[in-house]
Amino acid sequence: MNQKNYEIEKTFSFGQILLAFALAFVLLAITLVKKIFPFPAFDFASNIIFLALFITLVLIVQPFAKKFEKNPVEGIKFIIIFLIPLVGFSFAFKNFINLQKVNDVISPSSYADVILINIHSLIYTFLVSIVFSIFLKIFFFARGKEASVKFTVSIAFFVAGELIREILEELSLISQVILILQLILFVWISFRIPWVISLSKREKYKVLLYSFLVILFLFLLQSPFATGNSSEGMRYYSTLLFSFAHFYLHPFLIIYSFFVFSSTIFHLPTAEIYERKVAELSTLQNIGKLVAQVLDIKEFSDTAVKIAMEMTGSKSAWVELKLPYADEIYGVAGIDEINLKSLREEVNSLRKNFEERNLESRYIVSNIKDSNILIAPLVSHQKISGFLYLVKQNQNFTSDEIGLALALADQIAIGVENSRLIQESIEKERLSREFELAQQMQKKLLPKVLPSSEKFEISALSVPAFEVGGDYYDFFTHDDGNLSVIIADVSGKGISAAFYMAEMKGIFQSLAKIYPSPVEFLIKVNDTIFGHIDRKFFITLVYAYFDLKKATVELARAGHLPPVFVKDGKAKFLKSSGLGVGLVKSEEFGKFIKPVKLKLDEGDLLILYSDGVIEAMNELNEEFGYKRFEKLIEKICYKSSDEIVSEIFNEVESYQKGTKQIDDITILAVKWKK
């Protein structure tokens, strides 16, 4: 509610209070006049004014009564709080008010009595309006339209009864019948009290006490012994007030309270179960929240296990998660390591039941030594991701506890799955950034300018795969114009590959200058690398040394794919012997290296390449292969080195169209001109 509305309501209720006072004064005037001229017309007038006064008072107390809209227990408590002064005032005024009986008509003895009657009745009306308003809030709580229909019927019946009583005047039999019918109506209305069921045990005891007190106080108010002259005075004040209190509100409240009392007694035994269900629900809700918030499997399992133990009254518990290589234990509670180990060994065979019986068997309870152990599988996406273990000593698991354990196991499974997915996406993000970095590094390591000479033309192309494969090529032009060419592939992918590429570049640039001859160069490279890099990394390469004056090329292969040499349109793979660099000690390594020396004539072509060319796959998972490569080269070998390189690449790329390039593709061609 916004401020403005609130203010309007305030001023409105101030106006109501003024109106109430005005009406009270009018009633006072009427009752005083009635003392002098006891005409029935005044009775009618006072009833009308009373009705207006009562409605006004009910409206005034609405904001207060609203507090009990969803709180029936507090509502009854406050009804008692207001009933106490009601009884008190009535009892007090009973002795102050003096009445006289003239011709069967009861009237106040003096004007002072009229004023006392007015004071008492006004207070009574005010308190009754509060009690009535609170009662209505309780009455309508958690009930639908049916209640308001019944309520309207009861009011209508009361009004009709009053009119009949008024017209037929003191026909006691009919008024008795009307009263009995009215009581039956109240029973019918009060039959269902939905809010009692959901109360806690403590609240139920409170309600029992309150409803009993309400009945007690109302009986006091009903009896002439307690109220006597004050209620008779009320009748003088306004017959409607008397009837409403004695024939409507009091009996209605008594009957309603009686039903509250009896249905509370009836539902008392279920209180504990209800409380527990509520606690279970809120626990599961909390776990649900936990699942969404906690990403660390360990932290999450710790909390979940503790909750599971509490809720099922277990002595000890733990969670076992199936990870790719081993099972991980989390959230161990209430058991030491030695006992845990022995228990785990005992249950090992039981767990197999889940695998064999599929997921149909949702849990296993087994008796080991003097303890009962409950095993609940953590199931997510139709797969068992682990188990929740709960152990009780000398106690059985109730079906409720088992149900709860299973619900918790499901929640844990979801939590585990969530955290796994998030870890995975973090890892993916990290990898993709790493690959990006590696690609940039690789780009920078490759030569930007190719050597040029009148003796040869040279072209090179390297297209890295997304997951950088570690292809590397480079040149070194010696002082005498001779040329060293290298193509290498370091094992591994990503950052580590890029790192070894960088190392390889340094080694090549420094060693090629000092050891231009292939065998010597390779042995020196192996010297540098073997024993200095991680044992599982190695490098395959082809090194070629072009002697421009002698028109020869000498090359050696260290585990790399055999270079292709084309002479007179005929391609040949140079499968000379040689081991990858970094695999074995240099003494051994040197034994296997067999260099190839070739005489170069015009148009001769040497092609170096990486495995991305040969291993390129088409949609049918067939490799590009050596045969296709050989044929292609023979077809295009007469073209320029630039064209040869780009046509090989285009051919390979169109071959693996539709599939993703999984490895770097590197092609390097040297064509002899003179």
Pick from 183, 265, 461, 662 the residue near another protein by CB under 8 A.
662
Is 151 near another protein (CB under 8 A)?
Answer: no
Query: Taking CB under 8 A as the rule, does residue 179 contact another protein?
Result: no
Q: Confirm or reject binding of residue 34 to another protein (CB under 8 A).
A: no
> What residue type is 120 in one-letter code?
H
Q: Is 251 in the site for another protein (CB under 8 A)?
A: no
Indicate the residue among 206 and 322 with the shorter CB distance to another protein.
322
Q: Does 538 bind another protein (CB under 8 A)?
A: yes
The nearer residue to another protein, 195 or 538, going by C-beta atoms, is: 538
Please tell me the distance from the alpha carbon of residue 609 to that of residue 461, in angstroms, as a whole number: 9
Interface with another protein includes 660 (CB under 8 A)? yes
Pick the stretch among 11-19, 503-511, 579-587, 628-636 that binds another protein (CB under 8 A).
579-587
What is the 8-class DSSP label of residue 398? P
Residue 353 CB, shortest distance to another protein, in Å, is 24
Judged on CB neighbours under 10 Å (0-12, 13-18, 19+), 285 is: exposed
Q: According to the binding rule CB under 8 A, does residue 423 interact with another protein? A: no
Whichever of 258 and 592 has its CB closer to another protein, that residue is: 592
Please report whether residue 108 would count as binding another protein according to CB under 8 A. no
Report, in Å, the least distance between residue 442 CB and another protein.
Answer: 15
**Can you read off the two tokens belonging to residue 666?**
């590197």
Pick out residues in 314-343 that bind another protein (CB under 8 A).
324-325
Tell whether residue 572 is a contact of another protein (CB under 8 A): no
Tell me whether residue 148 or residue 577 sits nearer to another protein (CB atom): 577
Q: Is residue 570 a contact partner of residue 634, using CB atoms and an 8 Å limit?
A: yes
Compute the least distance from the CB of residue 387 to another protein, in Å.
Answer: 23
Q: Does 109 bind another protein (CB under 8 A)?
A: no
- The nearer residue to another protein, 40 or 625, going by C-beta atoms, is 625
Is 390 in a helix, a strand, or coil? strand
Tokens, residue 108: 């106040």
Sign of CA dihedral 351, 355, 357, 362: positive
- Spatial neighbors of 395 by CB under 8 A, at least 6 apart, are 313, 372
- The pair of structure tokens assigned to 667 is 């092609």
Contact stretch for another protein (CB under 8 A) within 72-80, 350-358, 359-367, 572-580: 572-580
Please tell me whether residue 138 binds another protein under the rule CB under 8 A.
no
CB 233 within 8 A of CB 108: yes
- Residues near another protein (CB under 8 A), total: 36
Q: Is the dihedral of CA 173, 179, 184, 188 positive or negative?
A: positive
Using the rule CB under 8 A, which residue among 7, 355, 588, 643 binds another protein? 588
Q: How far is the CB of 574 from another protein (least distance, A)?
A: 11
Q: Which stretch binds another protein (CB under 8 A): 65-73, 269-277, 577-585, 599-607?
A: 577-585
Regarding 441 and contact with another protein (CB under 8 A), the answer is no
Eight-class DSSP state of 268: G
Write down the least CB distance from residue 517 to another protein, Å. Answer: 20
Q: Residues 670, 644: contact at Cβ < 8 Å? A: no
What minimum distance in Å lies between the beta carbon of 536 and another protein? 3
Among 592, 618, 634, 647, binds another protein (CB under 8 A): 592
Nearest distance from residue 592's CB to another protein, in Å? 6
CA pair distance 375, 347, nearest whole angstrom:
9
Q: Are 178 and 52 in contact (CB under 8 A)?
A: no
Among 152, 176, 577, 640, binds another protein (CB under 8 A): 577
In sequence order, the β-bridge partners of residue 405 are: none
Residue among 233, 578, 595, 612 that touches another protein (CB under 8 A): 578
Contact pattern for another protein over residues 542 through 561, marking x by CB under 8 A: ----------------xxxx
535 binds another protein (CB under 8 A): yes
Question: Which of 299, 434 has the CB closer to another protein?
Answer: 434
C-alpha 486/C-alpha 508 separation (Å) is: 8
Binding segment toward another protein, per CB under 8 A, in 129-137, 289-297, 310-318, 576-584: 576-584
Among 537, 624, 649, 655, binds another protein (CB under 8 A): 537
The yes or no reply on residue 51 touching another protein (CB under 8 A) is: no
Burial zone of 364 (CB within 10 Å; 0-12 exposed, 13-18 middle, 19+ buried) = middle
Q: Which is nearer to another protein, 492 or 603 (CB)?
A: 492
Kindly write down the DSSP assignment for every residue of 192-259, as one continuous string: --GGGTT--HHHHHHHHHHHHHHHHHHHHHHSHHHHTHHHHHHHHH-HHHHHIIIIIIHHHHHHHHHH
Q: Of the candidates 4, 381, 532, 536, which one interacts with another protein according to CB under 8 A?
A: 536
DSSP secondary structure letters along 36-104: HS--HHHHHHHHHHHHHHHHHHHHHHHHHHGGGTT-HHHHHHHHHHHHHHHHHHHHHHHHH--EEEETT
Contact status: 659 vs another protein (CB under 8 A): yes
Q: Which has the closest alpha carbon to 609: 532, 669, 531?
A: 669
Binding pattern for the stretch 454-493 against another protein, x by CB under 8 A and - elsewhere: ------------xx---------------------xxxxx
Nearest distance in Å: CB 608, another protein: 14
Of 489-508, binders to another protein (CB under 8 A) are 489-494
Of 617, 628, 646, 651, the one binding another protein by CB under 8 A = 617
Report if residue 658 touches another protein, rule: CB under 8 A: no
Q: Hey, is 568 helix, strand or coil?
A: coil
- Per-residue CA distances from 424 to 126, 299, 660 (Å): 70, 18, 22
Selected range binding another protein among 150-158, 204-212, 280-288, 580-588, rule: CB under 8 A: 580-588
Beta bridge partners of 329: 320
User: How many other CB atoms are found less than 10 A from the CB of residue 526?
Assistant: 26
Other beta carbons less than 10 A from residue 167's beta carbon: 8
Distance CA 432, CA 117 (A): 91
Residues in the site for another protein, rule: CB under 8 A? 324-325, 466-467, 489-494, 534-538, 540, 558-562, 575, 577-580, 583-584, 588, 592, 617, 621, 659-662
